[in-house]
Structure 1
Amino acid sequence: MQPPSAPSHRCTAPSSPWSERGTIHPSLDLAIGDSVTTRVFDAAGEHPELETRITIGSASEGLRNNWAHQLATRINAEQAQLRAGQLGQDGRITPAFGQKPGPCKDRQPVDPGRNRARQG
C-alpha cells in the first residue's frame, strides 16, 4: 500500500497585460514644497507625455511611504500606459505603501535601466 500523495497546489500570478518595467524607491522623506517626478524612457529617448509629478503639501505627505503612495495613485489616475503598485489576485494594480513596482502595458517600450522617480 502506498501513502496518499500530497495535494499539489500551484501558486500562479493572475493573468495581466502588465509587466514590471521600473520601481519607485521611496528612499527619503521629503519637505513641504519638494516635488517628485517620474520620467519614462525607451530606446528612442524620453517620453514627456508619460511624466507624472506630485508636490509635497504637508509634513505627513513628505514621509517616504506616503509620497510614494501618493505618486503611485497619481500615476494610476493620469496614465493609461503605466501603473504603479501591487498586482492583486483580481489582476488589478493598486497603490501600496512602500517600494512600488512600475508595470507598463507589455507593448509599451520602456528602458527599465533609465526609469527612475526623480526627487527634489
Structure 2
Amino acid sequence: MQNYELMVIFTPVLSEDEFKTVQKKYTSFIAENGGEVVHENPWGLRSLAFPIRKKTTGLYWVAEYKAPSDFNEKLKIQLLRDEQSMRHLIVKLDKYAVEHNEKRRNGAFSTPKDKVEA
C-alpha cells in the first residue's frame, strides 16, 4: 500500500452539513476499496487563484490516506463524476513527506502565530 494525499475543492454553495457529508462519502469510499484514511483536514472556504465554473471561492478538503496503487483511478473517476467537486489533486507521498506530515500533526513545527503568543 502506498501513501497519498488528496486535495479536493468543492463548490462553495454547500452547507456545513453537506460539506461534512461529502467528506464522509469519500472517506468511506477509500475504506470500502481497501484503503485507510490516516488524517483529514477540512480547510473550509478559501479564495481561488482564478475562477472555476464562474466561482471565485471553494471549500477545500485535504486527506492523507494509504491505498493500493490501482485505487487512484477509481477515485479519480468518482471525483470527476461528482458535480460538487470542482478540482482535485492526488499526490503520492514518499517516506520523507509521510514523516514530515506526522511531525507536523504532533506539533513538532511551530507556526508564526505560536511565536507571537510566546
How does the TM-score come out when normalised to structure 2? 0.28
More helix by share: 2
How does the TM-score come out when normalised to structure 1? 0.28
More strand by share: 2
